[in-house]
Amino acid sequence: MSAALIDDCERSSLTEPVHKLAALPAETLNSILVRRNIAPENVEEVASLLSSTGSAFSAAQVIARSFARRDDRTLPFGFGRFGDGTEYAVYYSALEEETCVEEVKHRARHSFDAMQSGELPYSLYYRFITCAFNGLVLILCGHEVAHPELISADESGYPFCQSLARQARTQDIAAFHAPSARRIGGVCVPVFKQDALREHQPRHFIAFSMQDGQLTQKQVSN
């Protein structure tokens, strides 16, 4: 059924900006370590060690690690709607900043629920990264009524979407325009080819906080 959808969808070679909200510290890693009482002479060594764990501390690292194979984990790539983590990487981005916010808020709510706490003693900082995308895109938007798996509220639609991505990649498709499951009218852009992303630009921060069971966000100057 996913193969039939690929045949029905429009394809377009596009050049456009795509946005991602990535979990990055609001300070430089070195300043965080110094504030945590790491001796200045040990900061570079500790920073190098932390970087080797797979955590990203810059926009360039976010992009590189989104596509990097990790053989020290159960799944070598990240698991999500368009990738099961076994065969290929997916860089999840969107056309609109608002869609990025809603996608992250959904994941953050899930994490907070798992903590079973209505309070979070600190803010979670995410930073917008904008890239220039250039490549062949399959347009899935407009097909969500016939294929509700594209916007399933839970993971029940993931197998269909992952099958779609596997087949699309064999046809040199670099990304999808996919309807957002978290924001009506939003367009997600899962990217399958790292070389389709150029000129990454880190931008402003968004701080997410949880108080009294309510998740809020605010823009923070960079």
pLDDT surpassing 60 at residue 221: yes
For the ranges 13-17, 53-57, 116-120, the one whose mean pLDDT is highest: 13-17
Question: Which of 55-59, 124-128, 164-168 shows the lowest per-residue confidence on average (mean pLDDT)?
Answer: 55-59
Secondary structure (DSSP) of 89-126: --EEEESSHHHHHHHHHHHHHHHHHHHT-S--SSPEEE
126, 104 Cβ separation under 8 angstroms = yes
pLDDT surpassing 60 at residue 207: yes
Cβ neighbours of residue 60 under 8 Å, at least 6 residues apart?
Answer: 200
Cβ neighbours of residue 104 under 8 Å, at least 6 residues apart?
Answer: 21, 126, 206, 208
Task: Select the more confidently predicted residue: 100 or 59.
Answer: 100
Return mean pLDDT, the chain: 85
pLDDT given for residue 43 in this prediction: 47
pLDDT given for residue 53 in this prediction: 47
Kindly report, residue by residue over 77-128, the tens digit of the pLDDT. 999 999 999 999 999 999 999 999 999 988 877 666 655 555 555 677 888 9
pLDDT given for residue 186 in this prediction: 98
Cβ neighbours of residue 84 under 8 Å, at least 6 residues apart?
Answer: 75, 158, 162
Tell me phi and psi for residue 143, to 5 degrees: -105, 5
d(CA 65, CA 55): 9
d(CA 69, CA 19): 22
Kindly report, residue by residue over 174-193, the tens digit of the pLDDT. 999 999 999 999 999 999 99
pLDDT given for residue 46 in this prediction: 52
Question: What are the Cα distances from residue 95, in Å, to 39, 101, 132?
Answer: 43, 12, 11
d(CA 86, CA 103): 23
d(CA 176, CA 187): 9
> What 3-state DSSP class applies to 137?
strand
Question: Which of 18-22, 46-50, 173-177, 213-217 shows the lowest per-residue confidence on average (mean pLDDT)?
Answer: 46-50
pLDDT given for residue 155 in this prediction: 96
pLDDT surpassing 60 at residue 49: no
Paired tokens of 187? 């367009």
Q: Which domain holds residue 144?
A: 2-220
Kindly report, residue by residue over 31-44, the tens digit of the pLDDT. 555 555 666 666 46
pLDDT given for residue 97 in this prediction: 96
Which percentage of the chain shows pLDDT scores above 90?
58
**Count of domains for the chain:** 1
